[in-house]
Amino acid sequence: MASKENPIVSFFQWLTPRFHLLDDLDKPGTIESVQKGGELVGSNLWTLIFAIFIASIGLNVNSTAVIIGAMLISPLMGPIVGVGFAAATNDFDQLKRFLRTLSVATIVSIITSFVYFSLSPISEAQSELLARTTPTIYDALIALFGGATGIIANTRKEKGTAIAGVAIATALMPPLCTAGFGLSQGNLQYFFGAIYLYLINSIFIAIATFIFVRYMDFPKVDWGLYKEKETKVKLYLSIFAFIVIIPSVFTAYQIVRSSFYKGKAEEFIRKEIVTEGRRVLEKNIVYGTKPKVEITLLGSKIDPIQEEELKNKLKYYSMEGTELVLHQDLSTTGLDKLKFEILSEIYQNQMDMGKWNTEMIAKELKIFFPNLVSASFAKTKKFDMNENHYKDTNLFDSEWKKLPTKDEMEKLEAYIQLRSGETEIELITRLEANPKL
């Protein structure tokens, strides 16, 4: 009687072939492709320069789409993959060639971005640019997995579209542009932060390439009697990669800690500070060696006994050692104090009376937003096309001499919510139609 086959063994026999990387491997084509990718002359060099200009403009105007476009046409991946490939195949003559090419590409990119940002009238560091100044271990992981995807795609007979995706994911262009920006502004923190991110990305793309080229058993250059030198080179490369990654681990740890702290601070404010008759007008959460939570309140005041109780409750939110600062009467002198006291009194009176009106709100807003020209507040209904029914909403329509910033918009919305008692507010802001000269 035939014995039944073990279902676990059968499952693995079915599963294993699906992870094979050797079935459609194109070794001659891959070697040729890597060699071409390591050349940075003529059209490749000009493509790199133009791609850097495009990426610099994208960072300057904070356009993600433009930055992605620049990464797609950039030839920077070629020499980096070449470094990993040459190291894996023990071709150290080619390794030196690829390193030279990569050095030239890096220097040309930094000079190009430096020239652009030196001439650009926009000198403010946008969010897309700032994101490239503080690398973490997550950037190393993205580069590692991106490099693995790149070399696997590059070794197939059918190349597919994965390589373009890797160019975007590993983000080699923006750090170099950010480094050029840092130099143009004389900001060495931006420069070194961006160069470090670029270095991390490059090293871990090369490491991923090295691992998979070895796994796929590409032919190696025979070192013969120089086997000991090969071992030393590999050891030095490993030590260098380890040293480079250490600061990124620390940075990632700090980011996680900061995110956790800010989340707890928001929870503390939401549960302990905000009440029916009290709202937070402004808050400042600082994480570091001296953590601090600074809150500006509007509405019913917190007396000294309650404030002490709140400080004692900080430990229940893992915020030991935090300095809690509450601004309730803005104990300062001058106009700010007067503005705050007037608004607090108005708010408290309106809370007691249980009513409000557009004229009053508009006049109050004018105190904080001098560029406000006119305002209207109305309850209305909005038809939701997806859910096929009407929704109640509150529309605040306003004209401005100068449109409010993002930060001002957030404060505007918070204040209107506070004064109207409505949580759902739709803001419409536009420039004054016929400004008086």
Using one digit for the tens of pLDDT, what is the confidence trace for 111-128?
999 998 888 887 776 665
What is the Cα gyration radius of the chain? 30
pLDDT per position as a tens digit, 38-67: 777 788 888 888 888 888 888 888 777 777
Q: Report the phi/psi class of residue 234: left, alpha or beta, with left for phi > 0 and alpha for psi in -120 to 50.
A: alpha
Phi, psi of 172 (to 5 degrees): -85, -30
**Cα–Cα distances in Å, from 122 out to 60, 81, 117, 195, 338?**
7, 35, 8, 22, 37
221 DSSP 8-state letter? P
- Calculate what percentage of the chain has a pLDDT beyond 70: 75
Work out the pLDDT band at 363, boundaries 50, 70, 90. confident
Look up residue 232 and give its two tokens. Answer: 């030393």
| pLDDT tens digits, one per residue of 377-397 | 777 766 666 666 667 777 888
Q: Collect all residues with Cβ–Cβ distance below 8 Å to 346 and sequence separation of at least 6.
A: 360, 364
Angstrom distance (rounded) from CA 54 to CA 208: 28
Instruction: Write down the number of H helices and E strands in the chain.
Output: 16, 6
The pLDDT-based confidence of 131 (bands split at 50, 70, 90) is low
**Residue 186, Ramachandran bin (φ over 0: left; ψ between -120 and 50: alpha; else beta):** left
Place 346 in a pLDDT band, splitting at 50, 70 and 90: low
What is the per-residue pLDDT across 271-320, written as a single tens digit (0 to 9) for each? 888 877 777 877 888 887 888 898 888 777 888 888 888 888 888 888 88
Query: Which string of b and e fits 202-218 if b means at least 16 CB within 10 Å?
Result: bbbbbbbbbbbbeebeb
Q: Does the pLDDT at position 423 exceed 70?
A: yes
Angle, helix 64-73 to helix 162-170, in steps of 10 degrees: 120
Beta-strand relationship, 292-299 and 278-286: antiparallel
- Binned at pLDDT 50, 70 and 90, residue 130 comes out as low
Q: Give per-residue pLDDT as tens, 150-167.
A: 788 777 776 655 455 555
β-strands 389-400, 372-384 pairing: antiparallel
If DSSP codes are grouped into helix, strand and coil, which group holds residue 21? coil
- pLDDT bin (cut points 50, 70, 90) of residue 329 is low
Please state, in angstroms and as integers, the Cα–Cα distance from residue 295 to each residue in 73, 273, 325, following that order.
47, 9, 6
Contact by Cβ (8 Å): 347, 298: yes
Tokens of 228: 């000991």
Q: What is the pLDDT of residues 164-192, one digit of tens each?
A: 555 554 567 788 888 888 888 888 888 88
The encoded tokens of residue 314 equal: 């900080």
Lowest mean pLDDT among 170-179, 335-344, 399-408: 335-344
